[in-house]
Chains A and B, each alone.
Chain A
Amino acid sequence: MGAMAMCDENCMDLNFAATEAEASTGIARISTCLEAQGLPQHKAADVKIALAEAINNVVEHAYAGITPAKVKVRCRLHENWLEILISDTGNPLPGFRVPDGVPAPLGSSLDDLPEGGFGWFLIHELTSEIRYEHTNGCNRLSLRFDFPRLG
């Protein structure tokens, strides 16, 4: 498991190798920590789903065909919003832009049913804002989750 730089009241940095096994552990660890830091429970599921899809994309696509390096995740939890920055040194997103969030069509028969293509749709659906940049060989994907508190 990678190194966790800090896990105080509202910051968390976690780095891990871009493998499926490390990503699986890393995602669980980040979610647990965010909940401990006070991420509202009704938002925790959304965050975990979007975070997992974004990190899995890095493992499966950004480092496809090249030697996997690190995934860096930085979380900043504020009063009414959470920002998660995911960085890697893999291949850029196609066209250097965030893919559209079109849901995978279900098709009309058993064989037509999609077994993938849900990732970006889920990320779009569950986040308030997505930003992406590719600079100096580094991908930086920023996901923001708003959660206005009542009262």
Chain B
Amino acid sequence: MSLTSKTTDTTQVITVHSDRIDAAMAIQFKEDMRSTAQGGAPRVVLDLTDVEFIDSSGLGAIVASMKQLGSERRLDLAGLHPFVEKVFRLTRMDTVFKLYPTLDDALTAAAD
């Protein structure tokens, strides 16, 4: 699991460089998110463009990552493949997170 991070103004973009977030990497993902997001901007956008598959353990790790940010910061998700989006929709997590089709959409929305 590899994450890269870029911060502009009030937004930190964290990009996932993996084609899946599943049970085999959920714990590592959660830890990497904790260290990468530490002390960053109030808004975090998780760029999932490379992620083609997620299971419920991966979903749980993203939820845990949002909790780690605390109530002062928020986590939005961008670049969801139809497959990944379906898992969010089925579990109704699409009502908890703001989902953007692309990273550009997420960054444009911030300017509103």
* A129 interface contact, C-beta 8 A: no
Instruction: Determine if B20 and A115 form an interchain contact, defined as CB atoms under 8 angstroms apart.
Output: no
- Give the tally of cross-chain contacts (CB within 8 A): 75
Main secondary structure of the interface of A (DSSP, over half): helix
* A111 interface contact, C-beta 8 A: yes
Instruction: Determine if A110 and B91 form an interchain contact, defined as CB atoms under 8 angstroms apart.
Output: no
Instruction: Determine if B86 and A49 form an interchain contact, defined as CB atoms under 8 angstroms apart.
Output: yes
**B37 to A: closest C-beta gap in Å:** 15
- Tell me, in angstroms, the Cα distance from A104 to B91 when the chains sit together: 8
Stretch of A53-61, A67-75, A140-148 on the interface side: A53-61
**A53 to B: closest C-beta gap in Å:** 6
* B23 interface contact, C-beta 8 A: yes
B23 interface neighbour in A20, A49, A113, A122, Cβ under 8 Å: A20
Residue of A nearest to B30 (CB): A115
Instruction: Determine if A103 and B82 form an interchain contact, defined as CB atoms under 8 angstroms apart.
Output: no
**Segment 10-36 of A: residues with Cβ below 8 Å from B:** 20-21, 23-24, 27-28
Contact-size category for B? 20 to 34
**A134 to B: closest C-beta gap in Å:** 23
- Tell me, in angstroms, the Cα distance from A118 to B62 when the chains sit together: 14
Instruction: Determine if B57 and A116 form an interchain contact, defined as CB atoms under 8 angstroms apart.
Output: yes
Stretch of B7-15, B40-48, B64-72 on the interface side: B64-72
Q: Which residues of B contact A64 (CB under 8 A)?
A: none
B86 interface neighbour in A45, A52, A104, A118, Cβ under 8 Å: A45
A118 interface neighbour in B24, B53, B56, Cβ under 8 Å: B56
- Tell me, in angstroms, the Cα distance from A30 to B47 when the chains sit together: 27
- Tell me, in angstroms, the Cα distance from A49 to B88 when the chains sit together: 12
Instruction: Determine if A24 and B92 form an interchain contact, defined as CB atoms under 8 angstroms apart.
Output: no
**Segment 61-91 of B: residues with Cβ below 8 Å from A:** 61, 63-64, 66-67, 71, 82-83, 86-87, 90-91
Interface residues of B (CB under 8 A from A): 20, 22-25, 53, 55-57, 59-61, 63-64, 66-67, 71, 82-83, 86-87, 90-93, 95-96
Interface residues of A (CB under 8 A from B): 20-21, 23-24, 27-28, 45, 48-49, 52-53, 56, 59-60, 103-104, 106, 110-111, 113-116, 118-119, 121-122, 125-126
Please name 5 further chain A to chain B contacts, defined as beta carbons within 8 Å, in addition to the given A49-B90, A56-B55, A126-B90, sorted by A numbering: A20-B22, A23-B23, A106-B92, A113-B67, A122-B56
